[in-house]
A = this chain, B = another copy of it.
Amino acid sequence: MLFTKEEYKNRLKKVQKSMQDKGIELLISQDTNNMNYLTGYDAWSFYYTQCVIVHINAEEPLCFVRAQDAGGAYIKTYLKRENIIVYEEKYIHTWPMHPYDPLIELIKKNKWDKLNVGIEMDSHYFTAYCYEKLKQGLPNAKIKDSERLVNWARLVKSESEINLMKGAALISQEAMKVAMKTINPGVRQCDAVAEIQRALFRGTSEIGGEYASIATLLPTGKGTSASHLTATDEKFVEGEATIIELSGVNKRYHCPMARTVQLGKP
């Protein structure tokens, strides 16, 4: 468990307070970052349906994951086993069967289907299909946009979170030094990213790095007119500029950094 149980309880209270302010009695959050914040869940499984369900009076959230990911939820979350809700693999990529079928059953079984239900309308992974399933499956619920209430709760960081971000900053700094050293005329862009990625994962002797929510961006030459281009196997050219954007990550906490280097005279 990465944070104390007290810290997780405080997070839940902040979110439930915001739910009360917005008139939301049941929150369905599919944002991976929000899931991590509320439960500790952290696995590369967001490409299929998963979510956290928060009832306004609950002492713990529910974590809703597919069977294959139950093991990850048992290891990573602070939740009691009964609060990890596992849906069967038969719902995976067997359209028109969908994981929101068992989700709707769960909500009905708990008699939550007449509540004011908050959803994350503009969140990745909560697809239009999920939205339609909820609307059709819960005709008596009042479904409304939660307007990123968990994201807003996350905005003010605790001391333990700030310490993790400071660790991520050290990693970003190390990787940026490696980038500055490696980017030279005649070097393939991909080889520079190779060294940057290596540094990002090695981190420091105390703090190991992990995968980031952003690829190392490395637009160079005329590519600097397009800030979101990534590296190719072409070589850096004398006289050209390169924008480096990277992020060290420590226990999912990021500290991104961007710098521009110029090789010789512009």
Residues of A near any B CB (own CB < 8 A): 43-45, 47, 68-76, 95, 119, 121-132, 145, 188-191, 193-195, 197-203, 207-211, 214-217, 222-223, 225-233
Contact = CB atoms under 8 A, between A and B. Distances in A.
A231 B202 CA distance: 11
Given A43-B229, A208-B233, 19 more contacts: A44-B230, A47-B124, A68-B227, A68-B228, A69-B227, A72-B227, A75-B222, A121-B127, A127-B128, A190-B209, A191-B208, A193-B201, A193-B210, A194-B198, A194-B201, A197-B197, A197-B198, A197-B200, A208-B232
Contacts of A119: 128
Contacts of A130: 122, 128
B126 A127 contact: yes
Given A211-B215, A215-B44, A217-B44, A75 B198 contact: no
Given A208-B188, A210-B190, A225-B71, A230 B128 contact: no
A47 B212 CA distance: 14
Nearest to A131: B128
6 nearest A-B residue pairs (beta carbon): A208-B233, A190-B208, A71-B226, A72-B226, A128-B131, A194-B201
